[in-house]
Amino acid sequence: MKGKILIIDDLHPEFKTAAESLGFIVDDRPQITRTETLSILHEYVGIAIRTKLKIDAELLEKAPNLKFIARAGAGLDNIDETIARQKGITLINAPEGNCDAVGEHALGLLLALMNNFKSANQEIKNGVWHREINRGYELKGKTVGIIGYGFMGKSFAKKLSGFDVKVIAYDKYKTNFSDAYATEVSMEEIVKQSDVLSLHIPLTRETKNLVNDEYLLHFKKPIFFINTARGEIVETNAILKALKNGKILGAGLDVLETEKFPELANSPWFDELTSSSKIILTPHVAGWTFESYQKISTVLAKKLAEIQL
């Protein structure tokens, strides 16, 4: 027996089955509260999470036997990585499991924005038939700028490969990554060439509020803006301002600075955000498909098997 694993979120059962076959005892408790987790975490060598809890200093202090944290998703921003690594805790995540979902979702948002699907759909349902004001843009011939060229960024670039677009990508932490789907460029080239900007970077202290008034000011052409990464990378007021002044033609946002109700409805920009016909919102589901639900657990199980405990 290798020890006990606590699952505190809804994971596909494939992870539990695989972990048990490796010799772990698995307690699958997706409804567990933070208080309950704090009281029993000392019993476990591993914990599997999605987004329900912040794995912070308080939780880690209550987990002296913890050897690994399995994050069912791409980002690790709900884990205090510094403290976890100081304690020798191995962190595993699964960007390979939902990158196709994210790439497809980003493309769907972009096509919907460029062709006015949101406003046209609502107008017809309201008895209005407007063709001219719903005239769209073709993606062919445009330049798509991607920030971050990991699993998510590359997936989006790959999905774009049949649209006859030029795809350029910037990644601060990678070099020589040009491939059949995207060409590596500087940030200066991103702001100079892009007709579309899509974010595929993690939330860190460095990227928080990256997209603000000053950042958007540097773009040479009006852009369509897509964010399927993390909401706190973007200042929502900057997006709204850029939509008003024509810097942004349309914005597809799967993530927001503040998420979930009732907190979201109390945000000062909520009414303006939801009333704009140039914005399409989805509830942080870009990477959450029926297929990715299983694939994430498959990836986590494989990585768990490779951990040296």
Residues 6+ apart with CB under 8 A from 116: 133, 134, 135, 136, 277
Which one of 50, 105, 230, 235 is the catalytic residue? 230
Whether 230 is a known active-site residue: answer: yes
Amino acid identity at 105: H
Q: Which CATH superfamily is domain 98-281 in?
A: NAD(P)-binding Rossmann-like Domain (3.40.50.720)
Amino acid 12 reads: H
3-state secondary structure 144-177: EEEECCCHHHHHHHHHHHHCCCEEEEECCCCCCC
- The overall pTM is greater than 0.85: yes
Query: What token pair was written down for 135?
Result: 């005239």
- Residue 199 CA to residue 285 CA, distance in Å, equals 15
> Can you tell me the distance from the alpha carbon of 49 to that of 71, in angstroms, rounded to the nearest whole number?
5
The ranges assigned to domains in the chain are 3-93, 98-281
Active-site residue, 259 included: yes
Task: Give me the pLDDT at residue 201, please.
Answer: 96
> Which CATH fold topology does 3-93 show?
Rossmann fold (3.40.50)
Q: Are 189 and 161 in contact (CB under 8 A)?
A: no
Q: Which residues of the chain have pLDDT under 50?
A: none
Query: What was the pLDDT predicted at 51?
Result: 87
Q: Say if 3-93 and 98-281 have the same CATH topology.
A: yes
